[in-house]
Chain A
Amino acid sequence: MTAATSTAHSIVEASPRSKALAGALVILYAVITILPLLWIVATAFKSQSDAIAYPPKVIFEPTLEGYVNLFTVRTRQTPDFIAKLPPPETWYDKLVRQRDMVIAGPSKVVPRFVNSLIIGFGSTFLAVFLGTLAAYAFSRFRIPLADDLLFFILSTRMMPPVAVAIPIYLMYRQLNLTDTRLGMILLYTAVNVSLAVWLLKGFIDEIPREYEEAALVDGYTRLQALRKVVLPQAVTGIAATAIFCLIFSWNEYAFAVLLTSGEAQTMPPFIPFIIGEGGQDWPAVAAATTLFVVPIVLFTVLLRKHLLRGITFGAVRK
């Protein structure tokens, strides 16, 4: 009788069919994204021959050889020599001897991984720390030429970093910063800090300045107000920024190849050069890649509560 009864669908609520379709698309996308990762995780448990078998093997007998090879340096010996050795002390000794080899010592993967952790988290911390201070200043104070400065900061991201690779290499050689952790931390901080300033400025702009002003009137200094009032509210933005910065410095390859070779080498240049007997040791490479992904996954999972809100922050007015 009334017009209302004839309108069956709502314009705000999605229909079951479009919900199902959207769900299917999301699942499809998730599968496509996660398949390569699963393949790598699986490859790490394959034997050398299974890893390069054609057609690729989906069902295989799992082995820890890839991980053992990743963490050790081995030498080939004659069966006679191995037979004369005392019985193997550990399961990995045994595994290696089955291949007519003995473990000569640990590989470089652990120090490289530690380098990645120190350089990645160190530069992330510095970039976020400096970025927060700069963003707060840009957001709250009347700074002469603020717009120009902000554009200048942004402009550092407008060229591909590799374009300045050679000048930076020369500069680092002069300063004795090549192949040092400090050098890599400084470099990644410099690249990330522009991103951090811009992202964080957006977040801090959204925090009403009345909060700090209330704290200033109530007896805090500017710095105390920043620490006790602004930062707790900017936590989502800081988390999101930290993840972006960490992902960049963790994955960075070009500068790492160019500027590190030994002492300060990170995982990205290390992984491709894991060589086994007669070529690339794919299971070991896959094992290294799997381990390399873990910290980022952990960091993101730990901060995911903040991240989701952080990425969509400001999109909807509360």
Chain B
Amino acid sequence: MAQIRVENLRKSFDQFTAVHGSNFTIDDGAFFAMLGPSGCGKTTTLRMIAGLELPTEGKILLDGEDVTFERASARDIAFVFQLFALYPHMNVAENIAFPLKCQGMAKREISQRVQETARLLRIEHLLSSKTSKLSGGDRQRVALGRAMVRRPKAFLMDEPLGALDAEFRHLMCSELRDLHDRIGATTVYVTHDQLEAMSMADQIAVMNKGRVEQIGSPQEIYDRPATMFVADFIGSPSMNFLRFEGGLKSGDRAIAFHDARVAVPEIRQDRAPAPLALGVRPEHIRFSDAAAVRGEVFGAEYLGTTQIVTVDTAHGRVAARLPSSAAVRIGETVGLEFSSERLVLFDVGSGLAIRTANDGSAHHG
């Protein structure tokens, strides 16, 4: 088990920079997810940690030891690929045994370790099967087995559930987390699926265009997004942005939103007048006749327990999550009331969130 530290990690391919100076530390035993859209540099970062790609600049430390230019095989980490990468010319047991064979371990010990790993993953009955005969989930279990059998310092997983169908992915999510809790190995998990990241990870790094936008627990990232990108990327439907222009003073508890005043968490930052955005999660919107922000109902999506109602306002289209019991008529004019303590303000120019009392509590909690 190990702590992984990444310092100023940068990677360029010819003209294109895939990763711009990332810095983060993954604690020993943590389940760390790297989340972002495709092409954001998360896989490149992972591959650099694994040693499958060499960084252009920066350092990678495993338990304090600099392994930046170390060969992959010398790092004592295990990698789980999206396509499982099970060797097709070997059966399940041989696949799991492979890393031990590479190390030149004695045959008896290998078979003992393979049995042990298979038991942990509940795939003992598959050991002599051909890998091509396995279901997607079982292939993933074998791939995990091949990673675990060596008891590496860390697991690196590159969208390991990406090739599974939706139903199974959910099952494997809880299985993976359960496995992590039992063996407690540091795990770095790359995914573009926010649900996977949110449900499994202790810490999430949200990446965009080669930069780490925010690192935090799933809750921090959801409730207090540091940038407009994070706010937009996390949550489905994503956060609404209501644009306005104005200045802010530290200590303000309300803002002038166009002609209305909207209560917000206490502002902790002075700002000269500039284009700003008010970030509201759909579930923090209620319909209220008294509310100052008004719009016309455009449509509704029924989701079972809730419904997503889209409302056209003067400041753009807004999605609200309401109980499915609420009666909504298309074309009706409604007032939108926001849960003021959950609002987030952004500077549109830089995309950064403006500090409020919510962030203050984060430092203590």
Contacts and interface: CB of A to CB of B under 8 A. Distances in A.
Whether chains A and B associate is yes
Interface of A: 208, 210-211, 213-221, 224, 229, 232-233
Contacts of B73: 216-221
Contacts, number: 55
Q: Which 10 A-B pairs have the closest CB atoms?
A: A219-B102, A210-B85, A218-B99, A210-B81, A219-B73, A214-B85, A217-B79, A216-B72, A232-B89, A217-B72
Contacts of B102: 215, 218-220, 224
B150 A218 contact: yes
A114 B77 CA distance: 53
B225 interface: no
Contacts of A210: 81-83, 85
Contacts of A233: 88-89
B107 to A, nearest CB: 17
Q: Is the interface of B mostly helix, strand, loop or mixed?
A: loop
Given A216-B73, A217-B73, A220-B73, A211 B99 contact: no
20 contacts: A210-B83, A211-B87, A213-B50, A214-B81, A214-B85, A214-B87, A215-B98, A215-B102, A216-B52, A217-B72, A217-B73, A217-B78, A217-B79, A219-B99, A219-B103, A220-B73, A221-B71, A224-B102, A229-B87, A233-B89
A213 B79 contact: yes
A217 B52 contact: yes
Contacts of B75: 217
Contacts of A216: 51-52, 71-73
B139 to A, nearest CB: 13
Contacts of B98: 215, 218
Nearest to A231: B89
Contacts of A221: 71, 73
A215 B146 CA distance: 11
A208 B83 contact: yes
Nearest to B90: A232
Say which size band chain B's interface belongs to. 20 to 34
A213 B81 contact: yes
Contact of B85 (A211, A219, A224): A211
Contacts of A232: 89
A216 B81 CA distance: 13
Contacts of A211: 85, 87
Given A219-B73, A232-B89, A214 B103 contact: no
Contacts of A217: 50-52, 72-73, 75, 77-79
Contact of B52 (A208, A213, A220): A213
Contacts of A214: 79, 81, 85, 87, 146
A217 B82 CA distance: 15
Nearest to B82: A210
B171 to A, nearest CB: 23
Nearest to B88: A233
A210 B146 CA distance: 14
B192 to A, nearest CB: 18
Given A208-B85, A215-B98, A216-B51, 7 more contacts: A213-B85, A214-B85, A215-B102, A216-B72, A219-B99, A220-B73, A233-B88
Nearest to B85: A210
Nearest to B102: A219
Nearest to B104: A219
Contacts of A229: 87
Contacts of B150: 218
A221 B89 CA distance: 19
A216 B150 CA distance: 14
Most-contacted residue by chain A among B73, B87, B98 (CB, 10 A):
B73
B79 to A, nearest CB: 4
A218 B52 CA distance: 12
